[in-house]
Amino acid sequence: MKKIGIIIETENRETENRETENRETENGQIKETNYGVITLAQKDDARIYAFILSENGIDDNKKDRVKDNLAAWGVHGIVDMGFQARAMENPMVQASNIAAAAKEMDIYTILGLSSARGRDIIPRVAALLDAPLVMDCMDVDLNNNVARTSQYSGKAIASIKLKGEFVLFGIRPNAVQAVPCPCEPEYFSFDVDNSIPDNFKVLFRDYGDQSGADDQSISLSEAEIIIAGGRGMKNKENFSILFDCAEKMNAAVGASRVAVDLGWIPYAHQVGQTGEKVSPLVYIACGISGSMQHFAGMKTAKMIIAVNSDENTAIVANSDYYVTGDLMEIIPELTKQL
């Protein structure tokens, strides 16, 4: 039976308590966006193996929970790839271990999230395996190794067939709706090599200007709900109402290119052709006109809600629902009602 490997991303961040010197992490907390990738792999009726990337491996007291989580979605084998802290920061170390595990376990098809981390790791795995790769896939026919991707700002859908001993696909987060498929997985051990290559060392990390993004605990590309602001926000300070609302909805905050260019919010929040391409369940556009470039980055949202004072804007024309009025009154009231 065909085997499919899925690179599973886990949360691995410090907890709220920063007063102690002990670094507590959420090892074993699997990102929910992984489950859609697992569902995609099920269409091929193959055995699915999860390569779990975490720092120091899954905590013993969380292994049963991780197993239960993955069992509910159809994973047959769990490969716990626990990396040391320095190796966890080095994408080349993770990529080389994934490639080695794939060879050792005879897994010739590998999927992963086309997230910021996935885009850093998956292409390296493909290079090490001398394999073809397609990122940002909307769907994949794994029987024929054909990927579907959006091209030319969503004006065309390309079908790309991969040919090779190994094939790799990066799946756009939230592109596939996760569907439970219970099974009974088993753990597999893999001897991780934490050696840092001499020719690829991470010397430092520059996270840029993160001001205004302190409350953004949810990745923009992986969020199920996004509330975004544009020129209609009028200034940097007004974005605070979006962050307040996002916190209540467990959502991420996005922005148009205009808002970013005006310095109201960091580039990390930009949605559009030159920013992040997202596929949330709900996209709330506040004070955004809806240029073609912005629409190209969020048109695959399952539901688009526009909040705008002008009902003749492009975003209203392309929305499922819209509210006409002053967003400075509407959004705080929404937050109050949540």
pLDDT in tens, 100-155: 999 999 999 999 999 889 999 999 999 999 999 999 999 999 999 999 998 877 77
pLDDT given at position 25: 33
Distance CA 258, CA 308 (A): 16
Domain spans of the chain?
A: 3-188, 220-337
The reply to whether 220-337 shares the fold of 3-188 is yes
**Number of Cβ atoms within 10 Å of the Cβ of 322:** 18
Residue 280 has pLDDT above 90, yes or no: yes
pLDDT given at position 21: 34
pLDDT in tens, 147-172: 999 887 777 889 999 999 999 999 99
Q: What is the percent of the chain where pLDDT is above 90?
A: 60
Split at pLDDT 50, 70, 90, the class of 206 is low
- Of 164, 173, 165, 177, which Cα lies nearest the Cα of 40? 177
Residues composing the chain: 338
* Mean pLDDT, range 259-281, rounded to an integer: 92
Residue 252 has pLDDT above 50, yes or no: yes
Strands 109-113 and 146-151: unpaired
List the 156-161 sheet strands across, edge first.
139-141, 146-151, 156-161
On whether the CB atoms of residues 245 and 227 are closer than 8 A, the answer is yes
Options 1.10.1200.10, 3.40.50.1220, 3.40.50.620, 3.40.50.2300; which CATH number does 220-337 get? 3.40.50.1220
On whether the CB atoms of residues 39 and 46 are closer than 8 A, the answer is no
pLDDT given at position 286: 97
Options 3.40.50.620, 3.40.50.300, 3.30.70.20, 3.30.830.10; which CATH number does 3-188 get? 3.40.50.620
- Of 151, 171, 157, which Cα lies nearest the Cα of 4? 171
On whether the CB atoms of residues 301 and 221 are closer than 8 A, the answer is no
Residue 94 has pLDDT above 90, yes or no: yes
